[in-house]
Amino acid sequence: MARPMNILFLMADQLAPQFLPAYGHPVVKTPRLDGIAQNSVIFDAHYTNSPLCVPARAGLMTGQLPSRINCFDSGCDYEFSIPTLAHYLRANGYVTAQSGKAHYIGADQLHGLEKRLTADICPSDNCWYGIWDDPDRTLDWFHNLKNVVTAGTAERSSQQDHDYDATHAAVRWLYDYARGSDQRPFFLKVSFTHPHDPYVTPPQYWNRYRHDDIDMPAIPFMPVADRDKHGQWLFQHYDRNEYDVTDEHIRQARHGYYGSISLVDDLVGQVLDALASARLNENTIVIFTADHGDMLGERGAWYKMSFYEHSCRVPFFIMVPGENGSRRVSQCTSLIDLMPTLLDLVLDQGCDHLVESIDGRSLSPLMCGDAKAWRDEAVAEIFFEGARAPGMLIRRGTKKYVHWEGGPCSLFDLQHDPHERRNLVADPAYSDEIALFDREVHERWPVEQLTEKILLKQRRNALVHKALMTGEVTALDFQPFDDASKRYYRGHGNWHKAEERDFLRFDSKDIHE
């Protein structure tokens, strides 16, 4: 009987696919990711379901649209009893572990994981909540443009510390697994925080690029009045007239971002090298994706939190053992599709193990080249700060409809307008199509009830956070524990057996083959 396949899930933070060679970027250097892509199915229209860390990751892990599990912004938890990918795999015989960023909010810092190997880098409490009751307030934690004008090099940063720790812990875990007695297949998620701003990178990565080679935005700065209402809000809240952003600042920021992508690439390489060295690569599915993208100066916009392509599209490729060569999928897909896809690939009867219906769909047919039954669409939500009412996206085929409740909407034909320059919403030729999209939005999302749920969640978060920050503060956090008494030889048991236990050896003939 064939041994079930392992899963190595590699994830970047705030990485737009437009900045990867696998998606055609001519400057960025990612040889290790390119190596994965050369033997992967590559998805060209893969979307986050919410362009913000916490709801995007919640959708990925549960296969549900974030709004279905009441996860609207980065101050939202979701119930510990909602099944995740980790729950399903663990219940079906997998050891489930994560190294690096999880960004779970609340008391449950595992959500089905058996082990977390490192501390998180982001808050685990509900401090980053939206406030629609006071939409013009600039939130304490909101971005500004300091990260753009201070971009450059840093010998060391907390983000580097985090990603180096995550990589080291993942590598060590793979070797521990290979020389251990646990016979279960594994799910190991390694989640980096780069290339998320601040746009600084170590000198060795900065120096991989000639500064003059760094490309500038394809769409230059757009006057604020020409942006959609949400884009105007974002700009007015992170551009507070504190900094004058020049073309050189933009080039510096992009240079730092590219260097950080190469940093992620090197760290991915270290994990892949350990996988191969431990002889685990021939039976391990490898996935690479991100939670959302980064505008990186396109249209004069920065960071994420918008429905433009650089913000809401993400890279995704999946490499299955024994399948060589690359193949591209043009159909629309999204992060919520990853859970049912992996269950389909590694479990007998796959998605039959689901205990409830989910929003995600298995990508297995697309991976096999069968697109006949695939509904060519992806959807996304903006229910966080920066909006006064719900915002929803439907990408179907080449058309992308963006609905702002109570505000101007957008329709783009990405086949003929990939940079989203021409909004077709006022074009009479598209009035019937827009009416159908509008009706579908209100059928999919009960906007009035949904708005009340969002406001209630925000008000609860505001009260609970104020209370928890009053008096003695007890952090909601995950503290990784490593039993030092079981590492190396610490004076109990037989020394020779302990030393032998930690060897990972293969026959010499295997090494030379």
For position 355, which CATH number holds? 3.40.720.10
**pTM of this structure:** 0.95
Domain-located, residue 125:
yes
Catalytic residue chosen out of the listed positions 71, 76, 87, 103: 103
- Percentage of the chain modeled with pLDDT above 90: 81
Domain-located, residue 138:
yes
| pLDDT for the residue numbered 496 | 66
Lowest-confidence region among 1-15, 56-70, 251-265, 498-512: 498-512
Look up residue 279 and give its two tokens.
């002889």
pLDDT tens string 440-482? 999 999 999 999 999 999 999 999 999 999 999 988 888 898 8
pLDDT tens string 138-162? 888 888 899 999 999 999 999 999 9
Which of 37, 71, 42, 44 is closest to 57 using CA atoms?
71
User: What residues contact 453, with CB distance under 8 A and at least 6 apart?
Assistant: 67, 70
Q: How confident is the model at residue 513 (pLDDT cuts 50, 70, 90)?
A: very low
| pLDDT for the residue numbered 509 | 54
Average pLDDT, the chain: 93
| pLDDT for the residue numbered 379 | 98
User: What residues contact 449, with CB distance under 8 A and at least 6 apart?
Assistant: none
Assess whether 103 carries a catalytic annotation: yes
Instruction: For residue 19, give its domain range.
Output: 6-386
Domain-located, residue 377:
yes
Assess whether 409 carries a catalytic annotation: no
Distance between CA 24 and CA 18 in Å, rounded?
7
pLDDT tens string 486-506? 887 777 777 667 767 777 777
- Percentage of the chain modeled with pLDDT above 70: 97
pLDDT tens string 416-433? 999 999 999 999 999 999
Lowest-confidence region among 167-171, 272-276, 288-292, 505-509: 505-509
Total tally of structural domains belonging to the chain: 1
pLDDT tens string 72-110? 999 999 999 999 999 999 999 999 999 999 999 999 999
Average pLDDT, integer, range 49-66: 98
pLDDT tens string 185-228? 999 999 999 999 999 999 999 999 999 999 999 999 988 888 88
Domain-located, residue 452:
no
Query: Is it the case that residue 26 has pLDDT exceeding 50?
Result: yes
Catalytic residue chosen out of the listed positions 46, 53, 111, 249: 53
Domain-located, residue 400:
no
Distance between CA 138 and CA 158 in Å, rounded?
25
- Count how many Cα atoms sit within 13 Å of the Cα of residue 207 in the half-sphere of its side chain: 5
SS3 letters across 466-494: HHHCCCCCCCCCCCCCCCHHHCCCCCCCC
Domain-located, residue 404:
no
| pLDDT for the residue numbered 192 | 98
Distance between CA 498 and CA 502 in Å, rounded?
7
Q: How confident is the model at residue 511 (pLDDT cuts 50, 70, 90)?
A: very low
Alpha-helical segments (H) within 84-132 = 85-91
Cα-to-chain-centroid distance, residue 467: 31
Q: How confident is the model at residue 512 (pLDDT cuts 50, 70, 90)?
A: very low
Average pLDDT, integer, range 231-257: 91
| More confident position, 387 or 27 | 27
Domain-located, residue 216:
yes
Domain-located, residue 509:
no
Distance between CA 151 and CA 247 in Å, rounded?
12
